[in-house]
Structure 1
């Protein structure tokens, strides 16, 4: 607990990230990984294999972007830095450990931004008691397109903390409006990812299963109802074995990875 408290108090954090709970989430995720590193090891290895295979499908050199770089648990940063001239790690905030790791590699740069573009207009809407925003767009990279990009377990997570804020501050907003807001975030992310690089890949959790005694008791969709095509790679992530999140049940995620995000955007409905 002392380590988590120190990290919370000393991590540089933009106001929007603190307001919507991203700092607390990052600290909690790091603590969970330290507790469950053995259970997570196959997932982490699969993520590294996926990113390695995805980046091998494009020419070396040029610039690479990692969206949702997080704590770098799932990112083979050394391999990316060796293959590309510059690697840009994008997330809403970066821990001190990530800052130190990036500083040790001359061609790695950190960017703090909200990749959805939704948080600032959502904050205004919640402050004013207005409807959820519909006109937001992901930010445009300032230095032009990248040669390679990868979205790292971000797609399913994008709406979670914003919707928790909606539940706290505007509980009267209906489920239909909330789902439309969530879908705009995930659709926007997929289209942004496809446009931001010559070749872009992503991996994301697809569903969450609760298990008791090895038998599945409940399965929850994690992709907001998107009809995704079959992934190029898939694996299981034992994210919270009992009693991490539930005293008696294990939580397991199914994860899918796509080497070319255009195979996903091609099946999105027009909006």
Structure 2
């Protein structure tokens, strides 16, 4: 707990991101990874192998973007820095661990950014009792990226905004909440394909609750977004019992796509 408190107090973070829980989420994720390092190892290895394979499909040099870089647990940063002329890490919060790793590579740049483009307008809407906004993902400076990677971000983007809606506008109709979540996820996919020649993505696609190895509950993690069959897939034992539940374990199904910007069938 002392480590988490120190990280929370000393990590640079924009006020809006702190208020909406992004810093707390980053600190909690790091703590969970330390507790579950062994259970997460197959997932982490699968992610890193996939990212390296995906990067090798892009030409050397040029610019690479990593959206949702987080703690870099799943990202082989050294391999990306070696392959590309510039690597831009985008997230709402860059932790001390991430900053330390980035400093080892002179061509790695950190950018604190809301890739949905919706958080500031959502905050204004919730404060003023206005309708939920439509996302407007940001344009990024410079030439188009040769390679863009979205790291387990697609399923997560709506979660903290929905928490804020539940707190500040609890009477929001469920249909409006679902529309907002679907729009966030869909606009992220479109944005990724717009900013890069190769739009690579991995994300959890389904959540499974298991007890004694038997699936008791399952849920879609893609907010109704229609994606082609993944190029790679694996399971992630994200919260073995009793991490979140005394008896049940949480497992995520993960899908990975080499290039969602490519025309279908290529």
TM-score, length-normalised on structure 2? 0.97
Structure 1: gaps of 5 or more residues: 267-271
State the 1:180 CA deviation: 0.9
How many Å separate the matches in 2 of 1:165 and 1:137? 19
What SS does structure 1 have at the residue aligned with 2:29?
A: helix
Q: How many residues align?
A: 264
Q: Does the CA contact (< 8 Å) of 2:186 and 2:225 recur in 1?
A: no
Aligned to 1:269: none
What SS does structure 2 have at the residue aligned with 1:79?
A: helix
1:123 and 2:118 matched: no
How many Å separate the matches in 2 of 1:215 and 1:228? 27
Deviation sequence 1:4-23 (CA, Å, 0-9, x none) = 01111111010111111001
TM-score, length-normalised on structure 1? 0.96
Q: Does the CA contact (< 8 Å) of 2:67 and 2:90 recur in 1?
A: yes
RMSD of aligned alpha carbons: 1.0
What SS does structure 2 have at the residue aligned with 1:5?
A: helix
Aligned to 1:51: 51
What SS does structure 2 have at the residue aligned with 1:26?
A: helix
State the 1:144 CA deviation: 2.1
Aligned to 1:99: 99
How many Å separate the matches in 1 of 2:234 and 2:154? 16
Larger mean Cα displacement after TM superposition, 98-107 or 28-37: 98-107
Deviation sequence 1:174-208 (CA, Å, 0-9, x none) = 01111111111111100100010111100000010
State the 1:64 CA deviation: 0.3
Aligned to 1:8: 8
Aligned to 1:83: 83
Structure 2: gaps of 5 or more residues: none
State the 1:228 CA deviation: 2.0
Deviation sequence 1:47-87 (CA, Å, 0-9, x none) = 00110111111111011000000000000000000100110
Aligned to 1:36: 36
Query: 4+ residue stretches of structure 1 with deviation over 2 A?
Result: none
What SS does structure 2 have at the residue aligned with 1:262?
A: coil
